[in-house]
Structure formats: structure tokens, C-alpha cells
Amino acid sequence: MTTSRFPMTDAARRGAMTRGEHESGAPVDVSRRELISLLTGACVTGAVAGTGLSASGSALAQGAPRKGGVLKVSAPANPSSLDPATGGAGSDHAFLFTIFATLIEWDYATLKPQPGLAESWSYPDNKTLLLNLRNGVTFHDGTPFDAEAVKFNIERAKTSQRSNIKADLATVERVEILGPHQVALKLTQADSALPLILSDRAGMMVSPKAAQALGNEHDRKPVGAGPWKFVSWSDNQKIVVTRSEAYWKPGLPYLDGIEFAIIPELNTGLRSLIAKQNDFAYSLQPNQKQVIDRAKGLKSVVGSTLYCQQIYLNFGKGALADVRVRRALNHAVDRATYVKLTMAGLGEAAWMNLPSTHWAYDKSLANCWPHDPELARKLLAEAGHKDGLDLNLLGYTDQASVQRQEILIEQFRKAGVRARFSNGSIAEKSAQYFVEKQGDGLLSAWTGRPDPSLSYSLMYMKNAYFNASQTEASPELTAALLASRSLDDIEGRKRALAKVQKIVTDLALVIPLAFPPELVAMGPNVAGYKPSLLGKPKFDLISLTA
Amino acid sequence: MDRKRLRLVGRRLVQFIPVIVLATFIVFGLMQLVPGDIAVTLAGESASTERIAEIRQLYGLDRPMLMQYGSWLWHALHGDLSRSILSGEPVLRMALERFPATLLMVVYALVLSLLIGIPMGILAATRPGSRLDGFVSGTASVGVAVPNFWLAMLLVASFALERPWFPATGSAPFGEDPLRALHFATLPAIALASGGIAEVARQLRSSLIEILGSQFVRTLRAKGLSSGQILWKHGLKNVSVNLLTVIGLLFNRLLGATVVIEAVFAIPGVGSTVVHSAINKDFPVIQGIVLAMVLIVIVVNLIVDVLYTVLDPRVNR
């Protein structure tokens, strides 16, 4: 058998360090047959775009995907529900993506929209989104996927009393069936964020027959059209899915099934991998990277994510109503040190709400908040706080949050800001800040949305849930946000979103801190995993080696 | 069972009714005092205040506290422990699924505590002041002082990761394969039993030393009984009531200690369920599990009370 040698380029290695598996930097050995097989597989899946050589490099090293086997996964949280419309936790997606196919998919590396159950889409006018649906797809219970199913799903998400995604589809006025495999979403206003919204919960198609027959029980017995069929869910214990032979992507999935063991304690989850009881663990903490590296036979994948640790600021009241104070706070934070201390140096400093790998990232804003305590003091003095500023922040009680708080208190102190944290559970403090409007700010995170317009709208629009001030930051921002949702070409949107980001930064409406990495650990037999910017794992491309 | 014992059981059962009501009411009341709102959790990440209010109404969380508790109690009296607000699963089914793993671990730990703790206590008590006594007392002190979660992690590192003799996480159903279930439960049970072994050994040692130094033992020696006869026939019989009390208390304490051990070993038992439900304020689950735990503690106490009358007839007078 002929063997070729493919040394990784510098770019590929950099990519591997940020998005793909950690490589030793050694040349990769691969047979011609493996290369052909991999390239064909990549064409079939259509999911390699955007991952560059890093993903290819790591996949090549692992050989061609083998069909079969059951992947054992250590999952950090029990799902809130397995019905995409009724669940509410961001951690549900790892399970939902296995059972449900989405109308639109995204590119792993950039989150640009890609065809899913909708083969193509277009905006014939700015208040209509036309979806051309894939033919020949069936749900796991045999129900055909067609325009009727899409209409049922969107109307259910908009009107069901138990739906948690009504807000996601707020701009959809009605669904018109134009043909057996074509629907038009009629909108109340221009909304180019919709395609990516349909790559999330709102686009996960549920079998209409099953949803009607099961009612609330569908939460626990979901029926979708994804790569795997639901088998069982033992609460807080185990979730099992098995291969759907009717899945529409040819050749996929590779795995016969997945068994999720619910292990909320992350160190215990990692130990289960070291003991070879499980093959895959995700949502690990950066400090666990050292443990993975030391463990025999374990591999790690470090990817960047949209998950942004930040301090939400109530910019409508007290001292924080003054933009100079908010700018001072941003200059007081030493983000490089923060990343080093809280994420073992594996994260990325955040200057805005998007990481550098995102398609809408505005390069001109990189390092827009240089660490400068003196400038911070000067700005505070200009704003009338010559003797410093008392800042009452809310936070969470877990060990990692408290560590972050200690670092920030010290950094603020150097700039003359006396920060104090009032801590409690996530639910309690989030409700106190966002609902009851207590405190000057909240040290928390933005978990990310596939479409950046949605992220910015949810945080900075007047009366948005995550805008504790409930005020309009500026009319220019409102106009820019609306404009970012009214364009449907990616370059136009990129420019519009750059404007949004510039205004948000100029007004210092938030203190972005850092993007923690997506850290995944895998056994030596696991191949093909690709991290996504969303930070929520998809298992479609994973295979088990013999 | 004679009439006196039956009367004792009947009296205890009547006393237990207010204990059950009070325990569940206190837990329910504490849940109301704890900050946080399950409606916020249920509503999802970006829910509006209207949506949260809608959920409160949907699940009856906007009703007065006494009405919510009364409704739960009424249904519980009719055998309906309600459903988890978070998962929608029937609480009774959850409890029946979770208890076997926890009980196996607790009983296993209790057996280990007795099998190791009793010989240690006897050896130390029969040679007071000796090196062996010092060793037993020292080991017992370490057993009490060492946190069981730390010991659990050491055990996992040594006997699951370094030498793959036992599983690092999880459990197996006892009904399907008892040996496999015991294999899974061994490390958690050892970690749990460390404090129990120490407690049994220390209590037995001090009780036995007191008995062996008493006047009636001196009389028995004077009558020519051997040390072995004195220990096995008279010494242990007299400390059995103390030992029984320790066993009763130990069982209840082990049941509580499973919360941490279940987290370390990822065992889906009642401990982890209570923690998960308490964090999310899923009160029907907490109420149901607390009720089941109270019932178990009551049954254990009742068995201990009945055994007292068997071991020491004066108790029944």
C-alpha cells in the first residue's frame, strides 16, 4: 500500500490549536485509500467547509470513518426536556441534535447558515422567507417530512402554551404552504436572522403525528428526523439513542447509537473516561486540560465558542448611566491576565460579544479596551468619582465564579473601583438582575445564539429581557440593529453588524471578559469530532475505530 | 410477637404520623425560604416576566404556600406523590428507581462497618492500653477525621484508575446481577463505611471496657469463668443494646452521607436526585424523597426499638 506524507502547514497547525485536535506537529501518515475515502466522505457530508486543514489533518491521522459501535458519552446535565419547543436549557442541544434535524444547519467553524431540511431559501421580498424543503425525508415514526410538517411545527412553537421559543419566532406572522415541499414564512418585519434561528430549537422538526398523539409526553418520548432515534431516558441517569436508517444524509451517521450517562460532576465525568467506562466527555473546564494530557490514551479538542463571560451593566441607572464610568470599567479589566488565571490561558480575550473566528467579527475592534488603570481613574474623575466608585454587582456562588470575582475585584481596585458581589444561585441572581433590576451589574455569561443579530437584539434593544435598564441605549443602535436584520446578503450583514458592534463598544454597554474554550475529552478510539462555534457538540461525524 | 410488643409498635406508629407531617412541612417551608424560582428555570434562558408568570400559573406555583402544601399532602395520602415539575416523571416511580442503588450502598457500608468495626472494638477493649489498642484507637480517629469524599477520590485513583479493579463511576441493578452490583458498590461503600467502622470500633471499645471492669465481671472471674466465656456470654450481650443504638444512628447517617458519595461516583441514587431537585426547587420530588427517607428512618428506628425489647426485657416494662 502506498503511503503519502502530509506535513501540516503553519496555518493548519494554528487552526488545529484553536479549533481542532491538539497535534504534536509531527507529519501525518495517511494511505492513499484513506485519503480518497476521507475526501469522498467529506463531499458526502458536505460539512468540511470552513474547518480547513486542521479538521482534515486530524481526521486523516485517525483514518477513514468506520461504521458501527456505540459511543458512550459523559453528559454534564440532565435535559430540561427532549422536546425542542418546551425545553429551556442551553445544555439540551447535545441531546436534541441527535434526535432532531433542523431546517437550516450551520458551518462548524463560522456558523454561517448551510442547507439542512431546507435545501435552499430566499427572500423574494423583505417580509417573506421562502423555504424549499428536501424531498423524501421521513420522521422516525414514518411520517413524511413536508410543508404541512413545517407549518405544524412553526405554528406549534408560536402558539403552544408550553412553548419556550415564541420569542424566537416573533417576526413570523404566518406560514403559507406553496407546494408539498415549499413554504413561505410571512413576516411582520424584515428579519434576516431567521435562517440561523431555524438552525436552533425553532428549526428542529418534530413529527406532527407524534406530537399530537403524545401531547406533553413528547417531552420524554421525542420523535424527530435526526441521525438517531430516541430509545430511552432514565432521568438524571441515562439517555440512549439508536441509528435511524432513514436519515437523509447518505452514509451518516457512523455510530450505531449513543449512550449518554448523566454525570453532573465534571471531574467524575472525566474520571469515567480515564477508567474507560465512557468514550467522550464535553463542556469540561479549562483546568481539566492538564488532567486529560496526563491521562494515558485520552485526546482533547479545544475549540472557540460564542459563550462569552461578561459583566452585564445596567446602563440606565446611577453612576453607570454615564458612559465615561462604563468605559473606565472596561479599561480597568486586564483580560489577558483574566484568561490566564481563570482558563489556564486556553480562552480568548473578549472585546465584543463575538469571538475572532466568527463570520461577523469586526477586526477593527480587537484590543479596543487596553488595560489601563490610570486612564480608568481619569475617566472616573471626569465623571465626578474622584474618590473612586462603589460598584454593587451580583454573581454566582460556584467556586469558578467566586474565583473570577476575586480577580476582578483586585483589577477594579487598582482603578479606584470598590466592587462588591452579592452571590446566590444562577436562577436567583439572574432573576434578581434581569427581572427585579437589582444591582449595578451581573457577572455572568452570554451563552450565544447562532445569529449575531439575535444576540445583540436580546441584550441591547429597548425592553429586551437581557437589557436590565429596559431603556434605549441610543436611537442609532436601534436603527443599526434593525438594519442588521433587514439585509440578507452575508457581506451586507457583516457591515451592518460591524456598525452595531462599534456602537455597543463606543457606548460600553457591557464588559466583555473572555470566551472560554470548548474542551472535549475523547478516548483513543473516537475519531472525527469537530467542535463548533456554538460550543454544543454534534455527533454526526464521529466514528469509532476498531 | 406478644401483646406488649404489639402495643409498643402501635404506639410508635401513632407517634410517627405527626413526625411525617412535621418533617414534610418543615422541608416544604424551607424550600419557600430558599431563594430561586423553578418558574424561571422552566421558562428558559430568555423568558419574559409574562412568560414566567404564565408558568407559575400553569403549575399552580402562584397559590398560597399552605394551599400548595395541603394539595400535596392530600394527594400523598391517596398514594399520589405527584410528578416532578422539571421532568414530568411520577415521583413515586423516581423514588422506586433511585432508592435501590442508595440502599445497596448504605447496607453494604453498614455491613462493612460492623464486620470490621466490631472485631477492632473487641480487640482494643480486651487489651486496653496495649499497642494494639493504640493502633485501633488511632485508626478509628483517622476514620472519623478523614472526609469520605476525599477517601472516595483516593480509592478511585488507586483502585479504579491506577489498577482497574473496580469501576470508577456508576452502579448496576442488584436484581439483574447481584455480583456485578456489589462490584460497582464496593468503592462507594468502603468510602462511606470509613466513618462507620471508626464509630462502631470506638463505641464498642468504650462500652466493653466499662462492662469488663464492672463488679459482676469481677464476680464471674472469681467464680472461675474464662476470659473468653466472660467476653462472649456476658460482655457482648451487655453491650448489644449500645451497639444496636449505634447501628440505628449509623444507618440514618449513612443514608444522609450518600449525597456526596453519589456525586463522586456518579451514582443515580436519591442523594443526587435530592441535590438536583433542591437546586431547581422541584418541590414535589424533594417532598416525595424526604417522605420516603423519613419512612425508612422510622422503620429502622421501629426495628431497633423492637430489638431493644428482645435484647433487654427491662425496656418493655
Q: Are residues B244 and B102 in the same domain?
A: yes
In a domain, B62, yes or no: yes
In a domain, B205, yes or no: yes
Q: Are residues B44 and B107 in the same domain?
A: no
Cβ pair A162:B89 closer than 8 A: no
CA distances from A294 to A516, A531, B196 (A): 21, 22, 35
Cβ pair A427:B84 closer than 8 A: no
Q: Are residues B266 and B144 in the same domain?
A: yes
Q: Are residues B61 and B187 in the same domain?
A: no
Q: Are residues B246 and B137 in the same domain?
A: yes
**Residue B277 near residue B84, CB atoms below 8 Å:** yes
Q: Are residues B165 and B267 in the same domain?
A: yes
Q: Are residues B73 and B166 in the same domain?
A: no
- Strands A238-243, A257-262: pairing is antiparallel
How many domains, chain B?
Answer: 2
Q: Are residues B70 and B102 in the same domain?
A: no
Residue A321 carries which DSSP code? G
Cβ pair B41:A274 closer than 8 A: no
Q: Which single residue is written with the C-alpha cell 462507620? A: B196
Q: Are residues B215 and B244 in the same domain?
A: yes
Amino acid sitting at position B285: V
Q: What is chain A's pLDDT, residue by residue, as a tens digit (546 residues)?
A: 333 322 233 333 333 333 333 333 333 333 333 333 333 333 333 333 333 333 333 444 445 789 999 999 999 988 888 999 988 777 899 999 999 999 999 998 888 899 999 999 999 998 999 999 999 999 999 999 999 999 999 999 999 988 888 888 989 999 999 999 999 999 999 888 899 999 999 999 999 999 999 998 899 999 999 999 999 998 888 999 999 999 999 999 999 999 999 998 899 999 999 999 999 999 999 989 999 999 988 999 998 889 999 999 999 999 999 999 999 999 999 999 999 999 989 999 999 999 998 889 999 999 999 999 999 999 999 999 999 999 999 999 888 899 999 999 999 999 999 999 999 877 678 878 887 889 999 999 998 888 888 889 889 998 887 899 999 999 999 999 988 888 878 888 899 999 999 999 999 999 999 999 999 999 999 999 999 888 899 999 999 997
What's the gap in Å between the CA of B54 and the closest CA on chain A? 9
Interacting residues of A78 by C-beta distance below 8 A, sequence separation 6+: A235, A236, A262, A264, B87, B276
**Residue B298 near residue B313, CB atoms below 8 Å:** no
In a domain, B73, yes or no: yes
Q: Which domain holds residue B181?
A: 94-279
Inform me whether the C-beta atom of residue A161 falls under 8 Å from chain B C-beta atoms: yes
Q: Are residues B32 and B147 in the same domain?
A: no
Cβ pair A164:B47 closer than 8 A: yes
Q: Are residues B201 and B275 in the same domain?
A: yes
**Residue of A36, A128, A80, A111 lying closest to A451 (CA atoms):** A111
In a domain, B314, yes or no: no
Can you spell out the DSSP letters for A58-114? HHHHH-S-----EEEEEESS--S-SSTTT---GGGHHHHHHH--BSEEE-TTT--EE
Query: Nearest-5° angle of CA B101, CA B102, CA B108?
Result: 90
Chains A, B: CB contacts within 8 A come to: 120
Residues 213-272 of A with CB under 8 A from B: 216-217, 219-220, 234-238, 261-265, 268-269, 271-272
End-of-domain residue from the set B264, B279, B294 = B279
Q: Are residues B154 and B16 in the same domain?
A: no
In a domain, B85, yes or no: no
In a domain, B288, yes or no: no
